[in-house]
Amino acid sequence: MILSALATSVGLNLALTVLLVAAYSLLRRRPPYVEVYAPRRPFAPLEPWLAAAWRRSEEDIHAAAGLDGVVFVRIFVFSIRVFAAAAVLGLGVLLPVNFFGDQLREIDFGDLPNKSIDLFSISNVQDGSNKLWLHFSAVYIITGITCYLLYHEYKYISGKRLDYFMTSKPLPQHFTVLVRAIPVSDGVSVGDAVDKFFREYHSSTYLSHTVVHQTGKLRRLLNDADNIWTKLTNLNARRSSGEPSRKFLGLFGRNDLLGMYQKRLEDLEENVRMEQSDATRRQEIPAAFVSFRSRYGAANAIYIRQSDNPTEWQTEHAPDPHDVYWPFFSTSFMERWIAKFVVFVASVLLILVFLLVVAFVQGLTYLEQLEQWLPFLRNILELAVVSQLVTGYLPSVILHFLSSYVPSIMKLFSTMQGFVSVSGIERSACNKMLRFTIWTVFFANVLTGSALRQFEIFFDPKEIPSKLAVLVPAQASFFIAYVVTSWTSITSELTQTAALFCNLLGKCATCCKRDGSKSPSMPYHSEIPRILLFGLLGLAYFIVAPLILPFVLVYYCLGYFIFRNQLFNVYVPKYDTGGKFWPIVHSTTIFSLVVLHIIAIGVFGLKKLPLAASLLLPLPVLTLLFNEFCRNRFWPIFDAYSTESLIKKDREEQSKPEIAELFSTLVTAYSDPALKPIRHASNSDERTVPLLASI
């Protein structure tokens, strides 16, 4: 790619970004779009959004989006700090050194716009030149800065997590344990077995229990009822707003429809009621939520194995009652094992299929190859603008578009694996997405060739650095373009393009409008991997092509403002893991650093400076030791609370009225929402929160 192509791409994306921001600023206060741009608030906020986003404090974010929201914003803060330092080093030191090297004299096409951006990469420095020691020092410096910031952030967030726990009001999940694999002998109900066991071994702290029931069939019925009820309320709302009645294909009038839906709803609810009265007595699952009188009592039941047979009476943290993923309980232990295996195979297949697609997209950056594949396009491709568009822009757009479908597939996979909570599902999906993103976007583009051939590099570990040192710089232009394109994609988060279309369409189509009372929740599992990918790109290209750094920095700055706005106006937190997403961010950054080291070792080898390559060898080892230290120092805080915290908190609240209040609700807190009485048909006009909102 030459400099002018890059400029075209930057210009185009900048224009699009500004356009989107302008559109957002205009639309967000218009009444019909408030539902899209501020679903959390019934009104359009008056102050300018950028200023508001800037002014908000972390406490505000904590109050609005929970600790997970804070962690999400800290990812941007952390990344901005890292890449500000990196950009200073890169643009101030490395870029000039690269540009004034003369290794690549033959591709220097004269005037500035026609210069290849390779002239700004390390490839342009003379082999064996002493200037390479500047690059060497830069690697050490950026690693040091990043590790210092990582330590600082981990400490800060784990402190936040402890504060959050100490200041939280009493919550059911602190006092409750999920017990699974309860052994039941004939003639004894699960409830009796639980009662007997915990009265025996936890007599002083045991409070109550809720047995889980098989409710798959009931859930399907309720789902149907819920759908029909939504349609009914939509129809009613239209009627009361005085819209004229239209006949659907001339067959049914609105009143016919109303009557039909009403009838079906009543039938369904009758069925549900019958099922409910049966279910409580019949299909118990050998799992129960057991509540204790103190947090420490619950911790005792979780961390000390309960039964002599380790496969029985298995205990784990209970999730927030609203966070429980109920359908999961219907699956047996064996089904979960099989599902895990299936999910593993499916994830691998997904990556392989995706790699095929990437291999094609990859080809677009080389015009000649494209012309060879699609000869009829030759005339068009020879136009300068088109060729710059195609090489600089199109591949990234395709990649962005395809990637947007993967998160929901990964979430589906995680659901199949059998987590007990929505937050657990999303954290697992986040890890899957991360692996998928790093593999299909970074490695697949670097290690060109067929999917199977890509794996070959790992069979010859000694060769990895030198191979990467050749392959990574070759893709610099592609990734710079990719980062630039991402500006548009992160700004389109602001304009909520998909929701906007949905809203506009919903206006026309009957009965398919999204339920307006439900604000969307933040899709951490798809956003975090996407954000972290740019950290990997920035660090991997730090010494190879420092030109990428300012673009990455701009991306993070945009993201910082946009998401601070979105967390306030658009997304409602669905759960609060208490910052459990941070360890994922930490380990991904460590991974990115090690990738940087490996590439640097390879590059110094290729550049005939073997001493520098050898002197870099301790760096990945030290980085991994640092990671190990952090794992010992901070990770346990994210896994569980300590005796110290638990007992302090228990003592503090011992005599508070909230505790007595909580204890009285604990008995019913974990009852399956499918078993709660329904009340659609009787008051279908009233705007109640749908029963399944928490499922």
DSSP string, 347-380: HHHHHHHHHHHHHHHHHHTSHHHHHHH-GGGHHH
Q: Taking CB under 8 A as the rule, does residue 111 contact a copy of itself?
A: no
Q: Across-strand partners of 402? A: none
Q: Across-strand partners of 178? A: 289, 316
Which CB, 499 or 637, lies closer to a copy of itself?
A: 637
Is 556 exposed, middle or buried, given 0-12, 13-18 or 19+ CB atoms closer than 10 A?
A: buried
| CA–CA distance, 170 with 163 (Å, rounded to integer) | 14
Which CB, 392 or 465, lies closer to a copy of itself?
A: 465
The least distance separating a copy of itself from the CB of residue 465, rounded to whole angstroms, comes to: 16
Q: Taking CB under 8 A as the rule, does residue 251 contact a copy of itself?
A: no
User: CB under 8 Å to 170, separation ≥6 — which residues?
Assistant: 653, 656, 658, 659, 662
Q: Taking CB under 8 A as the rule, does residue 186 contact a copy of itself?
A: no
Which CB, 248 or 303, lies closer to a copy of itself?
A: 303
| CA–CA distance, 346 with 410 (Å, rounded to integer) | 10
The least distance separating a copy of itself from the CB of residue 392, rounded to whole angstroms, comes to: 40
Size of the site for a copy of itself (CB under 8 A): 34
The least distance separating a copy of itself from the CB of residue 635, rounded to whole angstroms, comes to: 8
The least distance separating a copy of itself from the CB of residue 305, rounded to whole angstroms, comes to: 4
Which CB, 257 or 468, lies closer to a copy of itself?
A: 468
| CA–CA distance, 28 with 49 (Å, rounded to integer) | 9
Which CB, 381 or 457, lies closer to a copy of itself?
A: 457
Q: Taking CB under 8 A as the rule, does residue 113 contact a copy of itself?
A: no
Q: Count how many Cα atoms sit within 13 Å of the Cα of residue 8 in the half-sphere of its side chain.
A: 18
Which CB, 42 or 461, lies closer to a copy of itself?
A: 461
Among 18, 636, 664, 688, binds a copy of itself (CB under 8 A): 636
The least distance separating a copy of itself from the CB of residue 90, rounded to whole angstroms, comes to: 34
Q: Taking CB under 8 A as the rule, does residue 193 contact a copy of itself?
A: no
Chain Cα centroid distance, residue 279: 36
DSSP string, 470-523: HHHHHTHHHHHHHHHHHHHHHHHHHHTHHHHHHHHHHHHSSS----TT------
Among 84, 162, 615, 692, binds a copy of itself (CB under 8 A): 162
Beta-strand relationship, 314-317 and 284-292: unpaired
Which CB, 203 or 682, lies closer to a copy of itself?
A: 203
Q: Dihedral (C-alpha) 249, 250, 251, 256: value to the nearest 10 degrees?
A: 110
Alpha helices in 90-212 (DSSP H): 95-99, 132-167, 172-175, 190-201
The least distance separating a copy of itself from the CB of residue 301, rounded to whole angstroms, comes to: 8
**Among 662, 645, 658, residue whose Cα is nearest residue 165:** 645
Among 413, 478, 556, 634, binds a copy of itself (CB under 8 A): 634
Q: Residue 316: what are its φ and ψ, rounded to 5°?
A: -155, 170
| CA–CA distance, 344 with 497 (Å, rounded to integer) | 33
Stretch that binds a copy of itself, among 309-317, 510-518, 583-591, 663-671 (CB under 8 A): 309-317
Q: Taking CB under 8 A as the rule, does residue 645 contact a copy of itself?
A: yes
Among 294, 306, 488, 589, binds a copy of itself (CB under 8 A): 306
Tokens describing residue 485: 């394109």
Report the SS3 class of residue 253. Answer: coil
Helix 476-495 to helix 548-569 angle (10° resolution) is: 20
Q: Taking CB under 8 A as the rule, does residue 450 contact a copy of itself?
A: no
Stretch that binds a copy of itself, among 321-329, 369-377, 535-543, 644-652 (CB under 8 A): 644-652
Q: Taking CB under 8 A as the rule, does residue 310 contact a copy of itself?
A: yes
Which CB, 276 or 300, lies closer to a copy of itself?
A: 300
Is 445 exposed, middle or buried, given 0-12, 13-18 or 19+ CB atoms closer than 10 A?
A: buried
Integer CA distances (angstroms), 82 to 556, 566, 607, in order: 10, 24, 27
Which CB, 199 or 273, lies closer to a copy of itself?
A: 199
The least distance separating a copy of itself from the CB of residue 154, rounded to whole angstroms, comes to: 12
Stretch that binds a copy of itself, among 39-47, 144-152, 206-214, 295-303 (CB under 8 A): 295-303
Tokens describing residue 54: 């800037």
Which CB, 460 or 685, lies closer to a copy of itself?
A: 460
Among 304, 345, 385, 508, binds a copy of itself (CB under 8 A): 304
| CA–CA distance, 321 with 325 (Å, rounded to integer) | 9
Q: Taking CB under 8 A as the rule, does residue 686 contact a copy of itself?
A: no
Q: Dihedral (C-alpha) 456, 449, 542, 611: value to the nearest 10 degrees?
A: 40
Q: Taking CB under 8 A as the rule, does residue 263 contact a copy of itself?
A: no
Q: Of 613-632, which residues contact a copy of itself (CB under 8 A)? A: 632
Ramachandran bin of 178, using left for φ above 0, alpha for ψ from -120 to 50, beta for the remaining angles: beta
The least distance separating a copy of itself from the CB of residue 304, rounded to whole angstroms, comes to: 5
Which CB, 201 or 663, lies closer to a copy of itself?
A: 201
**Among 180, 204, 215, residue whose Cα is nearest residue 194:** 180
Which CB, 59 or 200, lies closer to a copy of itself?
A: 200
Q: Taking CB under 8 A as the rule, does residue 384 contact a copy of itself?
A: no
Among 110, 242, 244, 461, binds a copy of itself (CB under 8 A): 461
Q: Taking CB under 8 A as the rule, does residue 643 contact a copy of itself?
A: yes
The least distance separating a copy of itself from the CB of residue 459, rounded to whole angstroms, comes to: 6
Among 25, 114, 311, 665, binds a copy of itself (CB under 8 A): 311
Which CB, 463 or 658, lies closer to a copy of itself?
A: 463
Which CB, 181 or 350, lies closer to a copy of itself?
A: 181
Among 6, 218, 299, 616, binds a copy of itself (CB under 8 A): 299
Q: Taking CB under 8 A as the rule, does residue 647 contact a copy of itself?
A: yes
Q: Taking CB under 8 A as the rule, does residue 175 contact a copy of itself?
A: no
The least distance separating a copy of itself from the CB of residue 632, rounded to whole angstroms, comes to: 6
Q: Taking CB under 8 A as the rule, does residue 345 contact a copy of itself?
A: no
Stretch that binds a copy of itself, among 41-49, 308-316, 506-514, 536-544 (CB under 8 A): 308-316
| Contact status, residue 212 vs residue 178, Cβ threshold 8 Å | no
Among 47, 106, 186, 644, binds a copy of itself (CB under 8 A): 644
| CA–CA distance, 640 with 244 (Å, rounded to integer) | 59
User: CB under 8 Å to 362, separation ≥6 — which residues?
Assistant: 395, 444, 445, 448, 478
Q: Of 194-223, which residues contact a copy of itself (CB under 8 A)? A: 200-202
| CA–CA distance, 83 with 95 (Å, rounded to integer) | 15
User: Computed over its alpha carbons, how large is the radius of gyration of the chain?
Assistant: 29
Residues recorded for the chain:
695
Stretch that binds a copy of itself, among 299-307, 379-387, 593-601, 604-612 (CB under 8 A): 299-307
Which CB, 465 or 523, lies closer to a copy of itself?
A: 465
Is 474 exposed, middle or buried, given 0-12, 13-18 or 19+ CB atoms closer than 10 A?
A: middle
Q: Taking CB under 8 A as the rule, does residue 460 contact a copy of itself?
A: yes
Q: Taking CB under 8 A as the rule, does residue 448 contact a copy of itself?
A: no
Report the SS3 class of residue 179. Answer: strand
Binding site for a copy of itself (CB under 8 A): 162, 200-202, 296, 299-301, 303-311, 459-461, 632-637, 640-647
